[in-house]
């Protein structure tokens, strides 16, 4: 909540929410994510082309600088619309919370994050 990723939902608001799950990374670290699988069935996927390896490797060979971006850290960066916030709520022992920024585990979320990375990278 201190980071502006979640906010507690008031009792007078519609209280539809999903339960979170804990996932464990290969390095042993854990992360709490909402179980939004039910929402995925109603989500219309964006189509965004994957870059061709030949084009990417050619760009790398001509680059003066190469940067690395941590893709999982791209989540919680994009601000959600009010309608999306209502769909992305989790319930835990201390109340119901809604995401204010795009969480990990949403079907369409990788496309805007990747698009932002490519837009930023285009000028460098």
pLDDT, residue 76, reads 74
pLDDT for 61 equals 73
Mean pLDDT of 82-93: 90
Find out whether 7 and 100 touch, Cβ atoms under 8 Å. yes
Domain ranges (residues) in the chain: 6-122
Residue 10 burial (CB count, 10 A): 9
Q: In the prediction, which pLDDT does 11 show?
A: 79
CA distance 103 to 31: 11
CA distance 89 to 106: 12
User: 20-67: per-residue pLDDT in tens?
Assistant: 988 898 899 888 888 888 887 787 776 766 666 676 667 667 777 766
Q: Are 23 and 33 in contact (CB under 8 A)?
A: yes
Q: Is the pLDDT of residue 124 over 60?
A: no
């Amino acid at each position: 909540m201190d980071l502006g990723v979640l906010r507690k939902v008031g009792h007078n608001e519609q209280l539809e929410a999903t339960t979170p799950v804990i996932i464990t990374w290969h390095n042993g670290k854990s992360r709490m994510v909402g179980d939004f699988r039910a929402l995925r069935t109603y989500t219309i996927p964006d189509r965004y082309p994957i870059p061709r390896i030949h084009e990417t490797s050619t760009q790398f060979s001509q680059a003066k600088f190469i940067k690395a971006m941590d893709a999982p850290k791209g989540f919680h960066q994009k601000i959600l619309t009010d309608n999306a916030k209502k769909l992305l709520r989790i319930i835990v022992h201390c109340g119901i919370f809604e995401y204010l920024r795009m969480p990990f585990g949403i079907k369409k979320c990788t496309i805007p994050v990747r698009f932002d990375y490519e837009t930023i990278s285009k000028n460098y």
